[in-house]
Structure 1
Amino acid sequence: MSYGAAKQGWVRVCSLADIVPDTGVCALVHGEQVAVFRIGQRDLYAIDNFDPIANAAVLSRGLIGSLGERVVVASPIHKQHFDLRSGECIEAPEHSVRAWSVQLGDGDQVLIR
């Protein structure tokens, strides 16, 4: 991680190669579980890993897809959809999750803030 990224509060969670395209992984960032998704070759998204409807930390294991223009993950338990850009739960917005800032740093390192 570059000095500038560390100084701005970015946390290195893994390298891009550690995430198979069109899947997610779970990372611990500041004591919180974050679901990090790689869409295609280089697009990254991050939301809370905790599914508030199922009351379980499972979103990183969900199925990635799209609903119209929205890139979403379907929870593996009850199948509700979470927008990967905003964290909004499509079927029940009151159960939305946090969307985290994510970027690709030096040496293809995945950074979260």
Structure 2
Amino acid sequence: MTTATDTDTWINACPAQRLAPADGVAVLLPNGRQAALFRTRDDELYAVDNIDPFTHAAVLSRGIVGDRAGEPTIASPMLKNVFSLRTGQSLDEPDTRLTTWPVRTTGDTIQIRTRASEEETP
């Protein structure tokens, strides 16, 4: 679970009922970046970059939600590169990683925090 500070901004991404298990949706963030929001079959929510780093196409929200050895994943619909939904790390190319964003449900709405997880300092 993510705890946000007063300076964090959460945006409404979509109604919770809009996102079915193993489904994804593209979300335009206030800074112009695109996130791909997913609900896994075990009802977990994740948000990663929507831009495929290998093809530079905005397609990851249409990818295949899956699992690799217990790790929730998204496979690009273009070249089938697989990424961890938890960390954004490519499971095929060790030097490639997607940005991830914290996600929460508030009432009937799924929200994404506008500050990316990778930009935080430990």
Using structure 2 for the length normalisation, give the TM-score. 0.82
> Which residue does the alignment assign to 1:17?
17
Say whether the 8 Å CA contact 1:53–1:95 is kept in structure 2. Answer: no
Distance 2:5 2:61 in 1: 24
> Which residue does the alignment assign to 2:118?
none
5+ residue gaps, structure 1: none
5+ residue gaps, structure 2: 114-122
Distance 1:17 1:6 in 2: 28
Compare the two structures and name the one with the higher helix fraction.
1
The alignment's C-alpha RMSD in Å is 1.9
Compared with structure 1, are the counterparts of its residues 6 and 40 closer, same or farther at alpha carbon in structure 2 (3 Å cutoff)?
farther
> Which residue does the alignment assign to 1:26?
26
> Which residue does the alignment assign to 2:116?
none
Identity value in percent: 38
> Which residue does the alignment assign to 1:73?
74
Q: CA deviation at 1:13?
A: 1.0
Stretches (4+) displaced over 2 A: 4-8
Distance 2:11 2:104 in 1: 10
> Which residue does the alignment assign to 2:59?
58
Q: SS state of the match for residue 95, structure 2?
A: helix
Using structure 1 for the length normalisation, give the TM-score. 0.88
